[in-house]
Amino acid sequence: MARWGLLFALVACSKAAPALVIPNTTGALKIDGELGEADWNDRALRHGFTSANGEASRPFSEVRWLHDAKNLYVGLYAADENIQSRDFFELTLGQLVLHADATGKITPAVAGLTSAIDSDGTLDDPSNDDEEWVYEIVIPLPATGLATGAELVRAARCDTPKDGIVRCGAWSGRVELE
Q: What is the mean pLDDT of residues 164-173?
A: 94
> 106-144, pLDDT tens digit by residue?
999 999 999 999 999 999 999 999 999 999 999 999 999
Q: In this predicted model, what pLDDT tens digit does every residue of 33-89 receive, in sequence order? A: 999 999 999 999 999 999 999 999 999 999 999 999 999 999 999 999 999 999 999
Report the candidate in 30, 50, 36 with the shortest Cα–Cα distance to residue 155: 50
Query: Mean pLDDT, to the nearest integer, of 91-99?
Result: 95
Domain boundaries, the chain: 23-177
- Give the list of residues 6+ apart from residue 160 with CB closer than 8 angstroms, or none: 82, 84, 166, 167
| Residue 59: closest CA among 117, 153, 133 | 133
Does the pLDDT value for residue 153 go beyond 70?
yes
23-177: CATH topology: Immunoglobulin-like (2.60.40)
User: What is the 3-state composition of the chain as percent helix, strand, coil, each rounded to the nearest 5?
Assistant: 15, 45, 45
* pLDDT value of position 16: 62
Query: d(Cα 155, Cα 102) in Å, to the nearest integer?
Result: 15
CA neighbours closer than 13 Å in the CB half-sphere of residue 118: 12
